[in-house]
């Protein structure tokens, strides 16, 4: 062919455009393009409007301490499919200032706040650049490489005090901060005024006030301890009568800095930690992380391992969606009986996980280049019984009970509408995006593992309300069932590991971004390796966290009673939101 064909599956070489404002990243192991901070807005706007990269998936930073540079990494996608366009902005570490993309993509909102909070990158033009995961009295930016936590022992694991001269003892006895806290200079916890909190309340009060009628709004705190917030999560809402005019989620109560722990860990040690992100679907988390590291290592798992992986991931998806129906009932006020029914289905799948991996929830089953162990005898028959007999029948039961139920229909239809444009702009992913009419599924848009060989449909619904989100999940559970039936039919015999299992893997220098379609949306792992046993940067693009950006749009204009329903329909797990 003489004419060069440009397909969706290719990323254009944009370094030839933009009059030299963009250069290709030529560091070995890296890909993407480097843009100057002053040209960022212009380039991204053109990419969005002219090149079709309308979905800003991930914004994060990397602290290159030896070079004295701070790098902001953007992953842009087209919602019609294809691989990522990676943009990077390099700024000096001491005065890390980058223009904010808030006006172009609202999905940058929380992610830029996170990058400011954890890395100290200032995003100029961001209207609400507060700390998000840590609190105001937090000293420093923890993901900077020169920041040290309480109980700091060494830069990287394994610690030298463990072997061969193990010095055992309670860990708090060697705490360098003595009372376990450090404050920024000039901060006194006794005289402290929570300025950011008060600003939040003030901005809530300001909206919706009618000067002529002398009415006032009421500010309500939902949470942090509340039976329907699915965890420790707070929403500050301003109400005009019963109507929500303003709503801001406040997160970070469960924050443990998963990413800093990940950078201290070796690659393999991170695997069990990923289980703790979205603890309802730990197998999917394993999947994403294994993909990212395998991409760097350049290895491919054997055929049987791929089938086992997909089987586990789809069982997880089915389980997660059925679980979310249970919560939907719960949030509608039908307290706990239906949710226990959902848990019953989950229990049977957890039995399989336990038999395979040894643990019900914290599976730690995937390894780089395969899975930890082969399916024990009898497990495949159990899975077959479930996917051919019980699971399809249960889905029909749920469909019959819920879809025609008048209470469910009256409450859910037309509630919490998110339009397609808003969903894309907010970076919503997973069922939240597909319920708004955007047929974007990573298993089809950017296939990984063996999904390109499997026969399934991308589920899409068009109203973008809570009921369509429920329908999307229901149909998706059916598709998961369909995939599972193919997988248990076709699973081949053979090895389950590429190469020899090693407790310390060699990962060449470079960067990689592995993403999977987790039950809750796009789960991505951004990893930077320097060739050492520990990752230099380990970032999790968690679907729950970014889906929550849309919560404000869903709730505004609705009734306060529907806020709980909307939150439930976003389907979050706080372990993943707060990381």
Partner 1 sequence: MTGKGFLSMLFGVFKRFVMTYVEDFRKGKDRYYTAEGIESRRKADVDGIFTIQYPEEKLPVPEEFRFLPFLVYEEGENGEKDLRCTSCGICAKVCPPQCIWIVRTNDPVTGKPIPEPKEFYIDVDICMNCGLCAEYCPFDAIKMDHDYEIASYTREGNIYGIERLSKPLSYYSGIRPTNFAAEEIARQEKEAMKAAAKKQAAPVEGA
Q: Rule CB under 8 A: which residues touch partner 1?
A: 157-159, 161-168, 170-171, 265-266, 268-273, 337-338, 341, 344, 347-348, 351, 354-359, 362, 364, 372-373, 376-377, 382, 385-386, 389-390, 397, 400-409, 501, 503-504
**Of 98 and 402, which CB lies nearer to partner 1 in the complex structure?**
402
Considering the complex, what minimum distance in angstroms separates the CB of residue 352 from partner 1? 9
Token pair for 363: 């599976």
DSSP element (H, E) containing 54: none
| Rounded alpha-carbon distances, angstroms, from residue 12 to 42, 53, 147 | 17, 11, 38
Token pair for 131: 């700390």
Burial class (CB in 10 A: 0-12, 13-18, 19+), 530: middle
Considering the complex, what minimum distance in angstroms separates the CB of residue 27 from partner 1? 30
**Of 324 and 425, which CB lies nearer to partner 1 in the complex structure?**
324
d(CA 516, CA 227): 31
Token pair for 304: 């049987």
DSSP element (H, E) containing 196: helix 195-206
Token pair for 84: 């990522």
**Of 45 and 393, which CB lies nearer to partner 1 in the complex structure?**
393
Alpha-carbon Rg for the chain, nearest whole angstrom, is 24
Measure the CA angle with vertex 361, ends 254 and 565; round to 5°: 55
d(CA 54, CA 80): 9
DSSP element (H, E) containing 474: helix 466-490
Considering the complex, what minimum distance in angstroms separates the CB of residue 114 from partner 1? 24
Considering the complex, what minimum distance in angstroms separates the CB of residue 528 from partner 1? 20
469-497 burial, b at 16+ Cβ within 10 Å, e below that, comes to bbbbbbbbbbbbbbbbbbbbeebeeeebb
Considering the complex, what minimum distance in angstroms separates the CB of residue 240 from partner 1? 32
d(CA 316, CA 321): 9
Considering the complex, what minimum distance in angstroms separates the CB of residue 147 from partner 1? 20
**Of 91 and 356, which CB lies nearer to partner 1 in the complex structure?**
356
Considering the complex, what minimum distance in angstroms separates the CB of residue 269 from partner 1? 4
Residue 241, CB half-sphere, CA atoms under 13 Å: how many? 5
Query: Is residue 260 helix, strand or coil?
Result: helix
Helix axes 466-490, 391-398, angle to 10 degrees: 170
Nearest to 132 by CA among 266, 51, 233: 233
**Of 191 and 404, which CB lies nearer to partner 1 in the complex structure?**
404
**Of 77 and 341, which CB lies nearer to partner 1 in the complex structure?**
341
**Of 13 and 396, which CB lies nearer to partner 1 in the complex structure?**
396
Considering the complex, what minimum distance in angstroms separates the CB of residue 427 from partner 1? 31
**Of 184 and 358, which CB lies nearer to partner 1 in the complex structure?**
358
Cα-Cα-Cα-Cα dihedral sign, residues 539, 544, 546, 549:
negative
| Chain mean position to CA 12 | 27
Considering the complex, what minimum distance in angstroms separates the CB of residue 97 from partner 1? 36
Nearest to 147 by CA among 120, 169, 129, 178: 120
Considering the complex, what minimum distance in angstroms separates the CB of residue 362 from partner 1? 7
d(CA 76, CA 452): 22
**Of 239 and 415, which CB lies nearer to partner 1 in the complex structure?**
415
Considering the complex, what minimum distance in angstroms separates the CB of residue 448 from partner 1? 25
**Of 73 and 292, which CB lies nearer to partner 1 in the complex structure?**
292
**Of 248 and 373, which CB lies nearer to partner 1 in the complex structure?**
373
Considering the complex, what minimum distance in angstroms separates the CB of residue 160 from partner 1? 10
**Of 273 and 526, which CB lies nearer to partner 1 in the complex structure?**
273
Q: Are 361 and 399 in contact (CB under 8 A)?
A: no
d(CA 536, CA 527): 7
Residue recorded with tokens 């944009």 = 14
């Amino acid at each position: 062919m003489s004419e060069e064909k440009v397909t969706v599956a290719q990323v254009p070489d944009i370094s030839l455009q933009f009059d030299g404002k963009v250069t290709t990243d030529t560091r070995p192991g890296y890909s993407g393009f480097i843009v100057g901070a002053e040209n960022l807005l212009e380039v991204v706007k053109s990419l969005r409007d002219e090149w079709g990269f309308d979905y800003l998936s991930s914004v994060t930073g990397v602290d290159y301490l030896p070079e004295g540079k701070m790098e902001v990494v953007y992953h842009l996608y087209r919602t019609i499919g294809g691989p990522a366009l990676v943009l990077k902005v390099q700024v000096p570490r001491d005065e890390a200032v980058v223009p904010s993309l808030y006006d172009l993509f609202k999905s940058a909102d929380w992610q830029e706040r996170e990058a400011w909070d954890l890395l100290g990158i200032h995003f100029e033009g961001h209207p609400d650049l507060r700390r998000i995961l840590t609190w105001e009295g937090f000293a420093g930016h923890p993901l900077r490489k020169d920041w040290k936590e309480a109980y700091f022992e060494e830069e990287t694991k394994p610690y030298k005090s463990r072997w061969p001269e193990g010095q055992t003892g309670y860990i708090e006895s060697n705490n360098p901060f003595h009372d376990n806290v450090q404050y920024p200079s000039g901060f006194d916890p006794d005289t402290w005024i929570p300025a950011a909190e008060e600003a939040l309340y003030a901005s809530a009060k300001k909206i919706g006030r009618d000067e002529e009628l002398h009415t006032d709004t009421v500010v309500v705190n939902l949470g942090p301890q509340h039976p329907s917030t699915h965890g420790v999560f707070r929403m500050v809402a301003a109400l005009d009568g019963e109507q929500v005019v303003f709503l801001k989620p406040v997160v970070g109560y469960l924050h443990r800095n998963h990413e800093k722990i990940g950078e201290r860990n070796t690659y393999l040690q991170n695997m069990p930690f990923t289980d703790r992100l979205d603890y309802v679907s730990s197998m999917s988390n394993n999947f994403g992380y294994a993909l990212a590291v395998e991409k760097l290592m350049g290895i491919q798992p054997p055929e049987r391992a791929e089938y086992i992986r997909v089987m586990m991931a789809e069982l997880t998806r089915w389980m997660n969606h059925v679980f979310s129906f249970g919560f939907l009932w719960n949030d509608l006020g039908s307290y706990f009986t239906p949710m226990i029914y959902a848990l019953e289905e989950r229990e049977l799948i957890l039995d399989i996980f336990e038999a395979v991996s040894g643990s019900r929830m914290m599976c730690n089953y995937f390894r780089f280049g395969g899975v930890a162990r082969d399916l024990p005898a009898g497990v495949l028959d159990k899975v077959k019984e479930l996917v051919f007999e019980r699971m399809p029948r249960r889905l029909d039961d749920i469909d019959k009970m819920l879809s025609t139920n008048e209470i469910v229909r009256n409450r859910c239809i037309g509630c919490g509408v998110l339009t397609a444009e808003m969903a894309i702009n907010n970076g919503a992913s997973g069922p939240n995006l597909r319920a708004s009419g955007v047929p974007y599924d990573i298993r089809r848009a950017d296939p990984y593992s063996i999904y390109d060989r499997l026969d399934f449909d991308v589920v899409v619904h068009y109203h973008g309300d809570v009921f369509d989100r429920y329908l999307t999940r229901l149909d998706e559970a059916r598709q998961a069932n369909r995939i599972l039936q193919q997988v248990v039919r076709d699973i081949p015999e053979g090895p389950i590991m590429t190469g020899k299992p090693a407790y310390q893997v060699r990962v060449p220098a470079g960067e990689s971004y592995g993403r999977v379609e987790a039950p809750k949306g796009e789960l991505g792992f951004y990893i930077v390796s320097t060739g050492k046993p520990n990752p230099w940067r380990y970032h999790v693009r968690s679907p729950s966290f970014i889906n929550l950006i849309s919560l404000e749009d869903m709730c505004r204009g609705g009734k306060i009673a529907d806020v709980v329903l909307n939150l439930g329909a976003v389907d979050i797990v706080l372990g993943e939101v707060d990381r």
